[in-house]
Amino acid sequence: METTLIIGFVILTIILWFWAIIDITRSRFKNPNMNTIWLLAVLFFPVLGSIFYFQLKKKYVTKEPRKFQPNFNRTE
């Protein structure tokens, strides 16, 4: 029983950790340096870093959509 509980906890922790890393890399932060700071926090402190990131995410992530730039990839 204890082994199953420990294995379940480890699996949930790994899922939370990967989810946080993927979410950090896909999110648009108001300050570009926050992306690196959160990524380092989650990598060095997997459980606490992930929990703090998901709790404080709304403060640091911008909601505005990306602006369309039609001339971005044009070669002339």
21 within some domain:
yes
Provide the domain count of the chain: 1
d(CA 8, CA 14): 10
76 within some domain:
no
71 within some domain:
no
d(CA 74, CA 59): 35
48 within some domain:
yes
Which residue range forms the structural domain that includes residue 47?
A: 2-60
pTM of the model: 0.74
69 within some domain:
no
41's CB contacts (< 8 A; 6+ apart) are 49, 52, 53
Q: Kindly report the CA angle at 58 between 16 and 8, in degrees rounded to 5?
A: 15
pLDDT in tens, the chain (76 residues): 799 999 999 999 999 999 999 999 988 888 888 889 999 999 999 999 999 999 988 887 877 766 766 666 666 5
The structure tokens listed for 69 are 């730039």
